Structure 1
Amino acid sequence: MIRDISGFSNPLVKRLRSLREKKHRKREGLFLAEGLRILIEARDVSVLPDILVISDDARPHPLAEELIEETLAAGGDVIRTGVEILSKITAKDNPQAVVGVYRDCPTALSAVDRHSAPIWFVAQAMRDPGNLGTLMRIGDAVGAGGVILIDDCVDPFSVETVRASMGALFTQAIVPTDWTKFLGWLREGQGQLVGTSLNASVDYQEPHYTAPTFLLIGNEARGLPPEYEEACDVRVKIPMLGRADSLNASVAAAVMAYEVVNQSKARGSQGE
């Protein structure tokens, strides 16, 4: 059954609005995702919202109608409300017509199967939600297993990160941990730790990357701490031919990931 809400003072409206803040997301274990495309991406990997909020301004898109039916069938709530209230929930003047409320989905490091994917990203103190969301999207594109978050990373379930991921949040394992635990876990099994560094002398296309490859991406402003660089099995640099001395963190991650993928394809075509 679809419920209609028209009052700004409704407790549910206040609750959903509060999910824009990390402390409330953490307390409730819930996060917001905005826009039909992202919600359909989630649906396509069998993730449905606990609460689906839809605009009452017009007849829903056919895909939104499917999402409504599936959410109700799964026991979720569907709320119909006005654009003004959607704007209050999302803090946007022109809100999306569909908003989903989902259970957060962090994965414990101990539950990660390193051999389930050839590439994993390891984000160290990444602070920009756009970069982290883009990193998830790149991970989905290259068949990565997920993103391991170490040190003080931006919240992977913030509205901004979720939006930047374009739904890839729902296909990638999100693994929060710390450097010491990660490194101990990594050394208990197979895994090549690869870092990019301005101090490296090896071109990124020279090494032989082996699966599973863990691509260590440093903080946007500071890069990797020296001790993290020292722990890498391979340290490489991406050549910069202009005046800039480095690439954006997520762009560098994409360059590295596709080099790993291309090497794997080349070895496969050669029968290795």
Structure 2
Amino acid sequence: MTPSPRLVTSLTNPLVKSVRALHQGKTRDETGQFVAEGLKFILEAIDLKRFPEVLLFGPEAASHPLLERARTATLRAGGQVVEVTRDILAKVSRRDNPQAVIGVFRQAFTPLEALKPANATGWVALHRVRDPGNLGTVIRTADAAGCGAVILVGECCDPYSVEAVRATMGSIFALPIVQTDEADFAAWRAGWPGSVVGTLLSATVSHAEADYRRPTLVLLGNEQQGLTPDMAALCDVNVKIPMRGRADSLNLAVSAGIMIYAVTA
């Protein structure tokens, strides 16, 4: 058995305040930390050798049979384990019905040059994506399809924001995340051994009819503007997903999911 954790009941406790502050992008940037919620989420991270630096748990989780595993792994990795009240969990998560376990983890980014195209048949790059829910869903879908990484090009939203992390459902720990600018991405893309495929409303080739050479890198633009001309010019082929009803476009995460499975099938 692990030692009994300390109990914190005050919302003004410095540790509680520091975890709450991770909802702010500036604090995440300064500390390199982020928040993940839920015991299942945290155990998935531990399975992937990502250990909490802080583990908070409330009274509802105190007797959960799997909490001991999370506590032990956190302490062995040098992290803190703290029992807190439900009110603290609600304040930290900014939810009326918070998860009973919350972890603080170290952010991890993979350098662009460290990617090995031969390791997967499908890869995803997003240019200036703005919505954290979309980003988290794309990361989850890319993980489910066995993609090699998600590459964030230009000024994208933060993949380690609470909203994005929630939407990944744990895949934030499973998939390499890359941040790069347009110039470095263009230079790196020049050496890509397979196809680079963009999605473009003005394209004439259907996504189902294009010829994809593996490994295939799917490049999608942001929610409002789609791919810019400069990004579209980096693609070997630009494709469209046919609209057969009244809607003239798809949600970014939905489009990404269709393309990811098209190139990895």
TM-score range, shorter chain: over 0.9
Which segments of 5 or more consecutive residues in structure 1 lack a partner in the other structure?
263-272
Q: One-letter code of the match for 1:193?
A: V
1:169 equivalent in structure 2? 172
Among candidates 111, 114, 117, match of residue 111 of structure 1? 114
Among candidates 8, 22, 25, match of residue 11 of structure 2? 8
2:69 equivalent in structure 1? 66
1:155 equivalent in structure 2? 158
1:239 Cα offset (Å)? 0.8
**Match status 1:131 vs 2:134:** yes
1:139 Cα offset (Å)? 0.7
Q: Within 5 Å, which residues of 2 pair with 1:187-206?
A: 187-206=190-209
1:37 Cα offset (Å)? 2.1
Q: State how far apart, in whole Å, the 2-side matches of 1:58 and 1:253 are.
A: 36
User: TM-score if structure 1 supplies the norm length?
Assistant: 0.93
Q: State how far apart, in whole Å, the 2-side matches of 1:226 and 1:171 are.
A: 32
Deviations 1:180-204 (A, max 9, x none): 1011012134132100111110111
185-194 or 236-245, which deviates more: 185-194
Checking the alignment, whether the CA contact within 8 Å between 2:117 and 2:215 is kept in structure 1 is yes
**Match status 1:224 vs 2:253:** no
SS in 2 for 1:80: strand
Q: State how far apart, in whole Å, the 1-side matches of 2:218 and 2:118 are.
A: 15
Checking the alignment, whether the CA contact within 8 Å between 2:9 and 2:84 is kept in structure 1 is yes
2:80 equivalent in structure 1? 77
1:114 Cα offset (Å)? 2.2
1:91 equivalent in structure 2? 94
2:186 equivalent in structure 1? 183
Checking the alignment, whether the CA contact within 8 Å between 2:61 and 2:100 is kept in structure 1 is no
Q: One-letter code of the match for 2:41?
A: I
Deviations 1:53-79 (A, max 9, x none): 000245332222211122122222101
Q: State how far apart, in whole Å, the 2-side matches of 1:229 and 1:108 are.
A: 23
Aligned residues: 262
Q: State how far apart, in whole Å, the 1-side matches of 2:106 and 2:150 are.
A: 18
70-79 or 141-150, which deviates more: 70-79
Q: State how far apart, in whole Å, the 1-side matches of 2:64 and 2:186 are.
A: 47
Checking the alignment, whether the CA contact within 8 Å between 2:220 and 2:227 is kept in structure 1 is yes
Q: State how far apart, in whole Å, the 1-side matches of 2:262 and 2:115 are.
A: 24
Checking the alignment, whether the CA contact within 8 Å between 2:61 and 2:101 is kept in structure 1 is no
Work out the percentage of aligned pairs sharing the same amino acid: 46
Among candidates 145, 150, 158, match of residue 148 of structure 2? 145
Checking the alignment, whether the CA contact within 8 Å between 2:129 and 2:157 is kept in structure 1 is yes
SS in 2 for 1:231: coil
Deviations 1:225-267 (A, max 9, x none): 12211221011111110011111111111111111122xxxxx
Q: One-letter code of the match for 1:47?
A: R
1:265 equivalent in structure 2? none
Checking the alignment, whether the CA contact within 8 Å between 1:37 and 1:166 is kept in structure 2 is no
Q: State how far apart, in whole Å, the 2-side matches of 1:206 and 1:30 are.
A: 43
Deviations 1:80-117 (A, max 9, x none): 01011111111112111000000000111122222222
Q: Within 5 Å, which residues of 2 pair with 1:11-30?
A: 11-30=14-33
The change in CA–CA distance for 1:237 and 1:53 in structure 2 (over 3 A counts) is same
Checking the alignment, whether the CA contact within 8 Å between 1:194 and 1:213 is kept in structure 2 is yes
Q: One-letter code of the match for 2:135?
A: L
